[in-house]
Every structure is written in structure tokens, then in C-alpha cells.
Structure 1
Amino acid sequence: MNIPAKTGSIDVEIHGNFVDGREVEAGNGEMIDVRNPATGDVIARIPNSTAADIDHAMKSARAAFEGRAWGGMDTRARARLINKLADAFEANLDTLYRLETLNNGRPVNETRAQLSRLPDFFRYFAGVALARRDSVIPVEGAYLNYTLRTPIGIVANCTPFNHPLMILCKSLAAVLATGCVTVVKPSEYTPLTTLKLAQIFTEAGLPSGVFNIVLGYGPSAGRMLSEHPDINKLVLTGGTEAGRIAGSSAAKVFAHQTMELGGKTPVMVFDDFDVEQAVNYAAFGAFIGAGQTCVCASRHIVQASIYDEFVAKLQAKTKSIRIGDPFDPNTQLGPVISARQRDRVLSYARFGHEDGARLVAGGVAAKIAGHENGFFVEPTVFADVRSDMRIFQEEVFGPFTSVTPFKDEADALRLANDSPFGLAAAIRTRDVARAHRVAGRVKAGIVWINDHHRLDPASPWGGVDDSGIGRECGTESFDDHFNTKSVMVATGDGPFDWYRDTAGQKRLN
């Protein structure tokens, strides 16, 4: 579709769902405005998909999965195609990262750096597919026992607004490499790069129906997708409550599930680590992506002997960050995604005041000349934060962090683990033994020692407790896209008749 319309002097694109290799009309006439968060302007309109739209996409996916063009493709041919898709991604990188900046407001330097990594995810999983081997299992008696893995089928994928393409590609690369198919429901805030990638991949030779997209709100289109009886796996990145709702629906059809949900990352800073470096990591971890990441460095737990110095230097660093137009290469911090998200972040600044924390920086909306209707928030730091405060316990999802002192290693771990979440954690220390000891004891699925926010297609990604289940990336993700079939072959040629000599039989199983 991609039909241009006009709102004032702005071209507004009208999009439909992407099914069977092309955009199609969808919805019952209800359209959703997609805005540029830096200006508040409407840049596109998308449908809120109906149950019939979801079913249409699912039927397309099932036909592709069972059809010859995709389902009948051998592993080596599929790996070659996936590498071709990675090349097509790279060839369109400039278009994709600029569109992502327009749609979700991240500074262009961030989107360029992040999206340039994504072709590697497809190349990695293509390699894993070629290297895959099934098992031969030693068993008792004259038998050969081996396993066969078959692709599970349709993967329903609900992606968020904060890293639209990166989070999509973490799942999509594994889906394609394993021979599965997918129906994606991107965030209603940021559907544009997902639609563009589907177009790029189709033009590069991906068969129709392998990669379908349904648009709309999470509580309607997302819910209908997650509860559709034909899904075989649900992948969702989002809030914990959304995960509980979608997971309950998918469980009714016994679908596999991988969910990366909320987080409240503790960063433990010990006094043997350089304070200046710790502050640089703190700013990066807390404010990259305007803090809208599940692994945002949102709780800095700092040893008492360096606490005051850390807070003072973090205050200075935070106030030096340049907020502005995301397309300006000098901009270091863009807007949050929406007015609603801006107001949420500011409400937590109010909670910090009410609970007795000390505001060190920010806590207010940022005013950007020429972008008066954008959704900007000054990067915010609260100090003297106790573990019973809301800003310590609850996910803010914005450019917002807290600082809390600790006495010793045991105290640091107590504070770090005082959370319902368990996605990521970070440790700043030069003591090798302590680093490994604390990494083993902190409650998290991902731990960074003297770094933050790093991932690799080969490294498993996911959390524990309220941060979700399952893993993306790595062989863990690849393996979870298969059903395992055990094949038992009798290799002996002796006679068998249980009912002729029942009393003399030695075993039943």
C-alpha cells in the first residue's frame, strides 16, 4: 500500500498488513496514528487488525511452512538464502537506520551503530544451521537410537518500540535458519522499519508467507495473535504484565514460549574500580536509547567509600549530555517514544521526591527549540535511594537512574537481588575473584563485568523470575525452534513373540 497522504506539509504514509509478500488492506476502518516522537507529527497511519486479519496471516504462514518453496527447501539452500538476506539488509542500511530514527526517536548515531550489527545475526544462524548435527544415543540392547529435529512451525512474534529491528532480528534470524515461519505484530508506535524489512527480504527472494506482519494495538491485535490456535511458538518482548497475559493465552494451545520482559538492572560499583570509568559506563547504561531498554542501568549500587565522588561525577556527566534533534549527529539523547511515556517518567521523578530521595539531575521535561511538541525528558538521577522506594523497585523505562550506597559485598548482593526482576546485572571491579563470585550469586540471566549493554548473536539472552523465560540468540534459541523426534531401530534379527513365551521374557521396555 504505502499510500501517501498529507497532514499540513507532512507526507503521511498509509500502510496495511504485510501478508503473502505484499501489503494488504486490513482492519475495520479504524486507523492508528504513528508519530515522530521528536516532533509529535503524524508520519503514518496503520490499521488495527481484526481477528479475520490475524487468521489471514496465519493461513499464509501455514501454507508457506507446508509448501515446497520454503518447507521443501534443503538446509544448504536455506542458509545461502539467509546470507543473501543479510547482504540485502546491509545494502539498505542507510534507509533503515534513518527510518528507525524517524519512527522511534533514537539519535541517528545510535541507530546506525545498532542496525549495522544486525546482518551478523542472520549470518550466525545460517552458520549454525549448516553445523547442526542430530544425536545418536547409546541404549541397551541391539538397537540404534537417533533423534530427528523438525521445525516447530509458526512463530508469533510481538516486538516492542524501543529497538524495533534489533529485537525483531534476534528472533527472525533463528526462525528463518530453522525453517520456521513467522507472523510479527510490531509495536503500534514503531511499525515502519519492520514493514520495510519485509519488503527488502521479499525482493531479495524470501518466499511469500514466510514473514508476515499484522498491525494494531497490543491488547487487541497482539492478544488475538497470541491466542490463535495455530501458533506453535510465542516470542514476546515487552512488559511483565503483557507477558503474563499473552503467555497464558499461548499456554492454552501448548505453544513454546520465549519472553523477554521487564528489568531493573543493578550495577554494583566497588571501590577498586576507577570512578571516572564507572561514571562513563553509568551514563551509557542509563541513558542510551533514552533509557528505554529492559537492561537500562537503572539501579547503581555504589560502595560507600566512593559514593559521594561517584554521585558528583555522575551529576556533571549527566548535565553535559546533549539533548536534541535525533537527526543531528551532535545529539546524544533523543525523545522518549510518546507523551504517555514522558508523563510516566516524570511521575517517577515525583515519586522520588515523595519518598525522600535526592534529585541530582533532570526530573523535568526538556525544552528543545524547534521541537516544542516532541517528547523529551532531561536525563534524571536520584541519589540516597533506599531499596523500599518505588524508584528502586519499579521499572521506569526512560532516561532515569538511581544511586544507593552499600557497605560490603554481601550488602551489594542483598540490594542487587532485592527485586522481582532478573534480566541483567553489571559489576564494576578489578578483583577477578570477586567479579566471578558476584556474577555467580546475582539474580540475572545476563551479567556484564566492567561493561554494559553488550550482546552477540552467539550469546544467550534472557532473564529469570519476572523478567521472563527462554533465551534468544545462541544455540539455545536455535534449538528451541524444533520438536525432537526419537527414532528407535531394532538391529537384531532374532525371533520375537511375547505371547508364545511370556513367562520367559526378561524385560518389557
Structure 2
Amino acid sequence: MSVDTSVLELKMFVNGEWKTAKNGDENIVINPATQEVIARAPRATKEETEEAIAAARAAFESGIWSGLTTHERAQYLNKIADKIDEKFEELVNLEVMDNGKLKAEAEFDVADATTCFRYYAGLILTPEGETYQVPENVQAMVVREPVGVAGLIVPWNFPLLMSVWKIAPALAAGNTIVYKPAEATPITAMKLVEIIEEVGVPQGVMNLVMGRGAVVGQTIAESHDVDMISFTGSTNVGREIMKAAAGNLKKISLELGGKSPNIIFADADFETAVDYALFGIFFGAGQVCSSGSRILVEESIYDQFVERYIERAKQIKVGPGMNEDSQVGAIASEQQMNAILNYIEIGKQEGATLACGGSRLLTDGLDQGFFIEPTAFTNVTSDMRIVKEEIFGPVVTIQKFKSEDEAIQLANETDFGLAGAVFSNDGAKALRVIKQVRAGITWINAYHPTYVEAPWGGYKQSGIGRSLGTYGLEDFQEIKQININLNVEPVSWFPG
């Protein structure tokens, strides 16, 4: 299915109505592979954001959504999944245009979005709650209820999928929503909300507000009418979200940065380790929070590994996401491209060896887009910024280690704790090491595959809370204790 190449006029969705910004302020959205203008998006004011929050608050208090049975909410979620399936090609093409990723990556994202809605539709139909045998003639129970109004703030690297990871469990739990997509990638956000409107989700339950993080995001985070914030993005912004959310001590779920280790022992299957190490960093052009951006290789195979890794990295084809032969797509924005290139210069200045890549690609018709060569640094030390700080691009560092203990030390020598992997054919050693890696998402002899049934989130400065699985639903629920007195008579604590 082809996509209309004319400029899309995006709108916000508040209390069941599609709206533009009252002040006429707009954000120009471009295709990062061509720099062509593909959309204009409204920028909401603080007052317009507050209108969306008020609509969500009123809808929640009315019980129009939280008061539905789980069967009724599940039917809506399944209808949303069906509509995403119907619009599969359109959503894929729009995601490629908006974000710059490969078509194959976008296809995975859209397919996973339908899986996520269907998963939570099924999950809320399973038994939940607990009862307890307690002293005296009392029945104690625990029930789960929606948090209330959920503010959802989504990043630009997985515009549709990360939205669904939040929206599906939030709706499943019975919350109402104020949803802010990233300014760079708002197109599939509007398309998703169109689908939610199309299936008949009641007015005020789903509200879409576009605009600057400093205005829209800040207003959502500070509002006393918002009961929860779910944010995915940088650690620095996550800290600001926490501060703003403290005003009414709202519940927070933060999925933040990463600087994840990929540990490769000499006894690993060599070609498998090389292959996953490439996939671990260059999938998504490295714009993945869980990327394996620090490769740690046992000393005895370090030189062999580097030689083979660089040989293969140089063969990777970078190009527009819709090109069938492209293996790495565009960087999502000029701002992000410049940040990555700046880190590459920092690496050179710090004395690391630039083993491959390192430049913006300006030949073969790529000069109009934001493309960077797959880049690898060797001869790095743990105190270098390129080893310590999240670059969020196709840039990897390769370090050597001598012992198992040193591998674990290097792996945990970071403020982050999102992901990590171990490659070894010694199963006991692999499990022993991975259990000591301080990270929330880990693999043995693989990198990146993850599933909607499993929790997603990190340790340390990689965030708070978990997305996906039963944990993702619990993030959007409050837990209530109910005690029922089965012997209705005076307690007789006080005389008289």
C-alpha cells in the first residue's frame, strides 16, 4: 500500500474532538532519510494540555471506562488490534518515513503492537486478586484497581511500539490517558489514536496532546490531576520527570538510558558471537536503549574477534529504510546525528582507536539524509566518555578482559543497568556471570530478542518499574486491601 506523499496536517485529540493548537504554533516533521517535510504537527500550550488532563479526569471519575467489565475492555483492545492489522502496510510505511528505520524493523514493530493489545486483552480475563485466612472472624482480600489518569510520554526511536507498550496495559487496567508522542515522530501516534476512536472507545478516555516536552510533558508531570506518569527516554529527562511528579507523589514508571555490556568468552561459538554483537549495536542504527554498546571480549580471542567484527561491520549497507538492500537506516533527526558525531570526535580526542566508520555518509545519494557509518572503537578504557555515556547511535566500544571476575567488574562499571548478554558454551559459567550482571534484561548466547510476556526495564539509572508482561499491567494498577468482618457486633474496645 502506498502512502500519500503530500504533507500531513496532524491534529490533537482531546475529549473526543480533533483539534489544532489555538495559537497556530506548529512543529515541522521531516523524513530523516530525505529531509523532506512530511507533516505539520500542532504544539499545544500549557492551557491546552490542562484541557486534555481535565477531560481524562472527568472521564475517569465518570466510570465510563473503569466501570466496564474486563470482558468489555478486552473486546475494545482486540478491536484495536484488528484495526492495526487492517492498516498494517500504511502504519509500516508511515513509521519508516517518520523515524527513518528499516521497513523490516517497522514491520516487526507494527506486528508486535497487535500482539501487545491482544496479550493484555487476554491477561485481564485471567483470575486476579488474593484472599487470606486471617485471625478472628474476618475475610481479607486484595483487589487491583486502575491508578486513574495516566500520563504517557513516548520517545522517538520506537514511536508506535513504545506507545502501545504503554497504552495497551493502561487501557486494560481501566485508566484514562493523556498521551504525548515525541515531537520528531508524531505521525503514527495520530494514526493509532484514530484507530482507538474508530473502535468506539468512549469520549475523554484517550487524549492525544502534541508539543514541546518543556511545555506539554512538564504540565503532565506536574499536574495534580494526573495520577501516574509512564515515561521512556533519557535519564536526564527522567530525573526532571521525577522532580515534577513529586508535587502530588504520583506513581512513576521510568524506562531510561543504557550502556549495556555484551560479554564474549573465548569458549563461545565464535561466528554466533560476532553476528549477535553486530546485531546488538547496529540494529535500529543503535538508537535502541538496550543496545549492546560495550563489547567485552576475553583477551585470548580479542584480536581475532576485532578483525572479524570490523571486517563484517565494513560490509554493512546503510541506506533509506524502504530500500530492500539497506541493513541500517537513517538517524531519526539531525539533532541526534550531530550528537552522535560529536561523541565520535570525543572518542578520537580521548585516544581510542577508530577501527571503522566514524563519518556521516554523503555519497550514493545519502547526502540529503542523516546517515552515519557503523562505527567501532578499540583500545578504550573505562574512564572514557564513549565507554561511560549513552551515545544512542551506531557506535560501539570493544574492550578486553582477562578473567571472569574482570568481565563482571567491567560489565557493572556503569551508572546504567538496562541490559546485557553473555556468550559462552559453558552453561554453568554463562549463568553464573549473567546472574551477577546488574541489569534487568539479559541474554545468554543471543542479543535483543524480547517478548511481550516478559518484563522490560532496568536497574540503577536505567529506570523504575517494568513494562510488558504481568508487571506492565501492575504498573497501571493500585493494590487495595479489603477486610470483611464476618461477625457483625460491637468491638467493645471501650467500656460503656
TM-score between both structures, scaled by the size of structure 2: 0.96
**Within 1, Cα distance between the matches of 2:183 and 2:15?**
21
**Within 2, Cα distance between the matches of 1:370 and 1:306?**
38
- Matched with 2:52 is 57
Q: Is the 2:109–2:160 Cα contact (8 Å) retained in structure 1?
A: no
DSSP-derived class of the 2:6 partner: strand
DSSP-derived class of the 1:131 partner: coil
- Matched with 1:374 is 369
1:265 corresponds to 2:260? yes
For residues 141-193 of structure 1, what are the alpha-carbon distances to aligned partners after superposition, in whole Å with 9 as ceiling and x for unaligned? 11111123221111101100000111111111101111111111110000000
Q: Is the 1:304–1:406 Cα contact (8 Å) retained in structure 2?
A: yes
- Matched with 1:313 is 308
Equivalent residue runs for 1:206-355 within 5 Å: 206-355=201-350
**Within 1, Cα distance between the matches of 2:22 and 2:244?**
22
Q: Is the 1:27–1:48 Cα contact (8 Å) retained in structure 2?
A: no
**Within 2, Cα distance between the matches of 1:132 and 1:177?**
14
**Within 2, Cα distance between the matches of 1:53 and 1:441?**
47
1:424 maps to a residue whose letter is A
- Matched with 1:176 is 171
Post-superposition shift, 1:495? Answer: 5.3
Post-superposition shift, 1:237? Answer: 0.5
Q: Is the 2:84–2:110 Cα contact (8 Å) retained in structure 1?
A: no
Post-superposition shift, 1:440? Answer: 1.3
The total of aligned residue pairs comes to 493
2:416 maps to a residue whose letter is F
2:80 maps to a residue whose letter is L
For residues 377-412 of structure 1, what are the alpha-carbon distances to aligned partners after superposition, in whole Å with 9 as ceiling and x for unaligned? 111011111111111101101111010000011000
Picking from 436, 440, 446, the partner of 1:441 is 436
For residues 301-327 of structure 1, what are the alpha-carbon distances to aligned partners after superposition, in whole Å with 9 as ceiling and x for unaligned? 000111111111111111111111211
**Within 1, Cα distance between the matches of 2:363 and 2:283?**
18
Q: Is the 1:175–1:182 Cα contact (8 Å) retained in structure 2?
A: yes
**Within 1, Cα distance between the matches of 2:278 and 2:220?**
37
TM-score between both structures, scaled by the size of structure 1: 0.94
For residues 349-381 of structure 1, what are the alpha-carbon distances to aligned partners after superposition, in whole Å with 9 as ceiling and x for unaligned? 111111111111100001243342211111101
1:394 corresponds to 2:385? no
**Within 2, Cα distance between the matches of 1:480 and 1:11?**
40
Post-superposition shift, 1:328? Answer: 0.9
Give the gaps of 5 or more residues in structure 1.
5-9, 502-509
Post-superposition shift, 1:230? Answer: 0.7
DSSP-derived class of the 1:29 partner: coil
1:362 corresponds to 2:357? yes
For residues 402-436 of structure 1, what are the alpha-carbon distances to aligned partners after superposition, in whole Å with 9 as ceiling and x for unaligned? 10000011000111111000111111111111121
**Within 2, Cα distance between the matches of 1:364 and 1:136?**
61
> Percent identity at matched positions?
39
Equivalent residue runs for 1:101-250 within 5 Å: 101-250=96-245
**Within 1, Cα distance between the matches of 2:181 and 2:280?**
25
* Structure 1 pair 255–368 and aligned structure 2 pair: CA distance change class (3 A): farther
**Within 1, Cα distance between the matches of 2:363 and 2:82?**
38
Q: Is the 1:275–1:306 Cα contact (8 Å) retained in structure 2?
A: no
DSSP-derived class of the 1:99 partner: helix
**Within 2, Cα distance between the matches of 1:480 and 1:345?**
33
**Within 2, Cα distance between the matches of 1:67 and 1:161?**
33
Post-superposition shift, 1:493? Answer: 5.2
Give the gaps of 5 or more residues in structure 2.
none
Q: Is the 2:50–2:219 Cα contact (8 Å) retained in structure 1?
A: no
Q: RMSD across aligned C-alpha pairs, in angstroms?
A: 1.5
Q: Is the 1:457–1:474 Cα contact (8 Å) retained in structure 2?
A: yes
**Within 1, Cα distance between the matches of 2:179 and 2:420?**
29
DSSP-derived class of the 2:7 partner: strand
**Within 1, Cα distance between the matches of 2:408 and 2:83?**
46
For residues 115-139 of structure 1, what are the alpha-carbon distances to aligned partners after superposition, in whole Å with 9 as ceiling and x for unaligned? 2122111111111111132111221
1:51 maps to a residue whose letter is K
